[in-house]
Structures are given as C-alpha cells and as structure tokens.
A and B are shown apart, each in its own frame.
Chain A
C-alpha cells in the first residue's frame, strides 16, 4: 500500500503539489492522471525520496521510502526511462541493479525475456535504444527485485500500441497477483483501460479520486429522444441541468434512474438512455483540468 498524506511541495511561493493525499492499494492498479505540469512527477519523486516534501508524508506499507532496508526489493521505481547511463549496455544496467539488491545475476536474462528485449538488444548500449526500448529496460529494472509495489511515471511514453498492450497485460497480471501499482499518465484513454482506481490531479491539487466505476457513473448520463425540446423542458422543470451534445443527444450529470423518471412523467419516448462512460470520463477530465490546464497547452 502506497499512501501519501497531505503531501505538499512549494517552489518559491508556488505550490507545485498542494496537499495531495492518495492511496494505491494492493491488488489494484491506481492511475494517477493529470495534464502535463499538474504535479504528478513531483508527487511520485517525493514518494521515493528524490525530492524533499515541503510538508506532508509518504509511506510504503507504513514506512517512509528512505527507511526501507533494501528499497529495490520492496518498491520497483521507473521515473524517467531516458535517465539511464548511455554508455552501459541494457544487460549491464540490469546487472548493476540486481547486484545492488544482492540478487543473483541469472535473473537479468529472465527480466530481459520478460520485457521482450532480445539477447542482442541486451548487449547494445543504451544510447542506441529507442525510447520504447528504454521503457522496457526501465520496467525490467523496476521488476528485477520482485517488489510488492511498482511506481511508474508515464511508463507508456514511447511504446507502440502493441507495447502499450503488452505493458497493460503485464501490470494487470502483477496487480492480480497482489502487487500494488501506481502509475501516472497524462492520457486518459491510456489509463482508463488499465486502472482500477483513479486519482485525477490538476494544478497540484487532487480534483477527483475513486474507483474507475464510481468515476464513470459520476460522469453522467446520455439520453436520446426524438422530442428533444420536450425532454429539455421537463428536465429544466425538475431542476436538472442538461446540455445538448453535438450528435443530438442530451448529456446530464443526473443518474440514469432520475432521467428515466423525468422522461416517463413528461411522456417523452426515449431512443437511448445510458451512462456517459469513457466519453463522459474524458469530458470530466477535460472539464476538471480545464481551469488548471496551461493556456493553449499542447500535450
């Protein structure tokens, strides 16, 4: 279990991370979602002790990261796949990690296998690796100590669609065996496929968190009817805010039951009534982060 409690980091007077409290539980994949510059990386770096929090605490199963006697055996960390010594071979990077943890180096080959780096690729120097290969190597380094928890910052960066699918399966299996996974991303669709729990951060603050199912439900309802105006009027009367989406449907934050009830009372026939689901989550994400998003930011 990874826990942060009111974790805060101020640079100068600016709060990059503002009282972030989150939990990543065993057996679950927790997605840490937010636009670039929202404070995800700073939060993760504070968890692993690379950055000193201004205030607040972060613990792994109740202990601070720096108090872990052999950190690599308890928490696998990948913060930046580009941060590898360019002059070492992939195999050497893994060997150093294994030796630091006091592990037999025969595990190195198994790890290369696990992340689908061939023997020849393992002998190449990291400077000749693509970003995708570096991500695989970074994940292998995180996993070599057979830790119970993983902390991964934007692990899907640079992976091709097949690579993303591979990583998703890998992390799913890891969590299903009881591992704790905390991974960050700025891409919603990437994270909603794999995460069980979501923590959404914007401008250093948590703006939403819960299980994915909860957040999907909270994302609202989509309803369709031939008599749009009548339904709109009925919803207005009932005090339910609704907006027309571009494709001729109505979207509202009210849940399915309430919308159905309103439609029945108004005598409006429905052609579709469903939760907003992924599209809704996307809209929620954009909405939640719109106020905190940098002006005209490109991802």
Chain B
C-alpha cells in the first residue's frame, strides 16, 4: 500500500501527437461500413442504382431510353439513401451511445462532427460518380438491347447540378442528425422535411397567390428542383433561391445543432 512513484514506465510525452483531421475522417469512414446495417446501407447505393437502371431498361418505352432518364431514375433513390448515411453517422453516437468513447478519445466534438461531414460528403461524391457511371452503362446496354442510338442528352454542367443537388440532400440529413441526435427522431424528421412538406406547400401555393409567387424563396425542395431537371443551365435567380432557402433550411438549423452538440452533455 506504499507503492508510490516506483519504476514508472518510461513514457515520453512527445508520443502524444495531436490527432490530425485526416485520421479522424478515415476512422469515421470506417465506422460507416463496419456494422451490418452500415454495410448494407452502403451496398444499397450500388444495388438501388442497378435496380433503377435495369427497371428503366425493362419498363421504359424505347424513346425514353436517354441518359437523362437514367440519371433521374438513379438520382431518386440516392436522395433517400445518402441523407440516411450522413444522418446515421451522427445520430449513432447518441443512439448507440458510442459517443461516450468517441468524445473522450477526441474531446473536441467539433472536430469529430467535421470529420463526419467530410466523410459523408466523400461518400456522397463517390456514390454519385458511381451512380452516373452505372447510368451510362445502362444507357449503353439499354439502347444496345433495343437497337436504338444512345442519347447523351446530359451536359457536364447538368451532371454536376445533380451531384450538387444530392449533396445538398445529404447535408440536410446531416443537419437533422446534428440537430436531433436520435436515429428514429432524425429519420422521421427527414421524411417530413423532404416528403411531407412538399404536398403542404403545393396546397398552399394553389390556394394562396402570394405563396405561389414566392414559393421558390421559401420551399427548399422546390428551390432545388432545377438541379434535378436536366433542363439547361440554372439561372441566376434560381441560384439565389437555392442559396436563400439553403441558408434558412440548412445553414441556420445546422448552426443551432452544432452549438447544442458542443455544449450539451454526452450521456
């Protein structure tokens, strides 16, 4: 009971180098794949892109087998899956309580959240590139089967719009994860945010003239719609709509959520 500072293991202080963000991001990426549910969520990106492509080849009339059709068909499931990936990467720390370990290994919650954002966006970009590649393959195979010429009616700019649109969707999932910090709660909120609000806004737009005119400045999904249309360049006003609604529906709630993450207890 008198074992005071005896032969202390020779440990140099310099061993403790700061943890770089790149390492944290790599760890967060790993955490997205290392559970069964995480793995299948990732796999569902490829699976849904393949199913959408095959379904289009089988069911669509021949004259609709264009790259734009494939792009739209594949982008739609992405709009559900990518936000879920981002959302769950945040909420699982709270719902699974693994945050207790994560935030004691890295007592800077802002760095952990940043690493999660970088990892989510990387997954989003990689998924969209993969999806567009699968779509291109589908376009080649589909038109080869029907014997019609392959139609490449999507410009590079239009492709980047749809990638951006999906990344904005992914970030809205991320935002809800940060804001709500509970997997079921954030998932429900996401579906309200993307799917339940739209019909309400349509109703409102049909009944109220003022809302009909200003909807693009209020309804975030409506404002972002041009990104998914493959319908030429997005106009300056449309960009302004996207920026304005994005600030209101994405940036502000994200800032509120981040503040809470930094301040509240992790239990």
Q: A-contacting residues of B (Cβ < 8 Å)?
A: 1, 3-9, 11, 15-19, 23-24, 26-27, 30-31, 34-38, 92, 96-108, 263, 265-267
Given the complex of chains A and B, what is the CA–CA distance between A179 and B9 in angstroms? 8
CB contact list, A33-81 vs B, under 8 A: 45, 48-52, 65-66, 68-74, 77, 79-80
A70 to B31, CA, bound (A): 19
Query: Do most interface residues of chain A lie in helix, strand or loop, or is the interface mixed?
Result: loop
Bound-complex Cα distance A137 to B102 (A): 15
The winner among A25, A45, A101, A177 for most chain B CB atoms within 10 A is: A101
Instruction: Considering the complex, give the chain B residue whose CB is closest to the CB of A66.
Output: B107
Residue-wise interface mask of A (14-25) relative to B, using a CB-CB cutoff of 8 A (1 in contact, 0 not) = 000000000001
A113 within 8 A of B: no
Residue A175, interface by CB 8 Å = yes
Interface size on A, residues (CB 8 A): 49
B23 touches A100 (CB 8 A): yes
Q: Is A211 an interface residue (CB 8 A)?
A: yes
A154 at the interface (CB under 8 A from B): no
Q: Residues of A at under 8 Å CB distance from B? A: 25-28, 45, 48-52, 65-66, 68-74, 77, 79-80, 82-88, 92-93, 96-97, 99-102, 141, 146, 148, 175-179, 196, 211-213
Given contact pairs A49-B103, A146-B9, a sample of 5 additional A-B residue pairs in the complex whose CB atoms are under 8 Å apart: A51-B265, A66-B108, A86-B96, A87-B36, A212-B1
Known A-B contacts A50-B104, A84-B97; the reply to A102 vs B92 at CB < 8 A is: no
**Residues of chain B contacted by A69 (CB below 8 angstroms):** 16-19
Chain A minimum-CB-distance residue to B4: A27
Is A80 a contact partner of B100 (Cβ separation < 8 A)?
yes
Residues on the A chain within 8 Å of B263, using CB: 52
Chain A residues, CB < 8 A from B19? 69-70, 100-102
Contact present for B17 and A50 (CB under 8 Å): no
In the complex where A102-B23, A177-B8 touch, is A88 in contact with B34 (Cβ < 8 A)? yes
Known A-B contacts A52-B263, A102-B19; A87 and B35 likewise in contact (beta carbons under 8 Å):
yes
Chain B residues closer than 8 Å to A88, beta-carbon distance: 34-35, 98
Are B104 and A176 neighbours in the complex by a CB distance under 8 Å?
Answer: no
CB-defined contacts of A86 to chain B, threshold 8 Å: 96
Residues of B within 8 A of A100 (CB): 19, 23-24, 27, 102, 105-106
How far, in angstroms, from A83 to B101 measured CA to CA in the complex? 8
Cα distance A148–B99 when bound, in Å?
22
Known: A96-B27, A102-B23. A87 touches B3 (CB 8 A): no
